[in-house]
Amino acid sequence: MILDVMEIQKIIPHRYPFLLLDRVTEVVKNESLVGYKNVTIGDHVFQGHFPGHPIYPGVMILEGMAQAGGILAFQSMDDMTEEQAANKVVYFMSIDKAKFRHPVRPGDRLEYRISVIKRKGSIWMLNGEAYVDNVLVSEAELKAMIVDK
């Protein structure tokens, strides 16, 4: 299953400049998701992080993981209609074991690989990894809950 940015915006509420996922290339319901963000010098964060030495902030990488995880959760809920999903939102409860292994720079394609650790009702525990050119740049465990808006 491939989702472009227009389809992504139907699933999660994020919009520019805070939509941090350009495309989803693979979804296995209740198991995993692969998607990416193209990091460009035009991204607003580079105005201040850091002038003359642009590095994509780690918190933005984690937010991209969280958005990808939210899409995986919504795409996995077969019993939810599109109308019901429109009245729900994913809240992240915790981010644990976050590590940043390599800097991400303009021109990089940041690939998110999200997998389900455990699901209990509306609560999801996810493993998130971010890669550039198949090199692990960041990882974290994410815990989220789907709630009514």
Q: How far is CA 123 from CA 49, 81, 95, 116, 117, in A?
A: 34, 18, 14, 11, 11
Instruction: List the catalytic residue out of 14, 44, 49, 53.
Output: 49
Helix (H) or strand (E) holding 115: strand 109-120
Active site residue 53: no
| Strand stretches in 1-84, DSSP E | 23-28, 32-38
Catalytic residues: 49
